[in-house]
Amino acid sequence: MSTAASLHQSRKRRNGVMMTLCVVAAGIGLAWLALILGALLYKGLSGVSLAVF
């Protein structure tokens, strides 16, 4: 295996690891935002009644 091919494989593997970490971080962030939105909707909708209007 030449040095260039070895370097290419190393960079390709590192890129795969970083892409996986980025996808996991984005998924955690989206899940957190969904929890916040759910809490806001739950607490907000329970406070809405005809008396508000």
pLDDT digits (tens, 9 = 90+) for 1-47: 689 999 999 999 999 999 999 999 999 999 999 999 999 999 888 77
For 1-53, where are the alpha helices, taking DSSP H only? 3-46
Q: What is the pLDDT of residue 1?
A: 64
> What's the domain count of the chain?
1
Cα 40 to chain centroid, rounded: 20
Q: What is the pLDDT of residue 38?
A: 94
Q: What is the pLDDT of residue 46?
A: 77
24 lies in a domain?
yes
Structural domain for 40, as ranges: 19-44
Q: Alpha carbon of 14 to those of 1, 4, 36: distances in Å?
A: 18, 15, 33
Contacts of 49 (CB under 8 A, 6+ apart): none
5 lies in a domain?
no
14 lies in a domain?
no
30 lies in a domain?
yes
52 lies in a domain?
no
